[in-house]
Amino acid sequence: MSEQFPTKNPEVREQSGRDLATLVYLIQAIALFTAVPFFVAVLVNYFKRGDVRGTLAESHFRWQIRTFWFWLLWTVIGSLTWWLLGLGFLIMGIAWVWAIYRVVRGWLALADHRPAY
């Protein structure tokens, strides 16, 4: 349990964590059309990570953080290889579709009150 909010009961912490994870999924969904919000979303994940420790949202935060870093990695690789017979565009397209999959799968699991993994 997080000592940061010792007065919150477990149900309130759980709901608060789910609300934060939902907000991050929304930001990530918006980021699929413009990348800047993805950075905002991962910052929320890192700053609020301690608040969700021990709740269902903890697995979703881990899922969201990994989604960001792998999306960024493949987007950078794609950007650096676009000149190679268009390979970079394919890599970036696959990274975009993969990010959509991760956001939708995670958000659906959260809505069903299941962990992301």
Hey, what's the torsion of the CAs at 78, 80, 85, 86, to 10 degrees?
40
Give the pLDDT confidence of 9-51 residue by residue, as tens digits. 888 889 999 999 999 999 999 998 888 899 999 999 999 999 9
pLDDT given for residue 1 in this prediction: 44
Give yes or no for residue 4 having a pLDDT over 90: no
- Which are the contacts of 100, defined by CB distance < 8 A and separation ≥ 6? 32
Give the per-residue pLDDT at 45: 96
Per-residue model confidence as pLDDT tens digits over 73-96: 999 999 999 888 789 999 999 999
- How many residues are recorded in the chain? 117
pLDDT value of position 2:
47
CA separation for the pair 72, 35 (Å, rounded): 9
CA dist 87 and 82 (Å) reads 6
Q: What is the pTM of this model?
A: 0.84
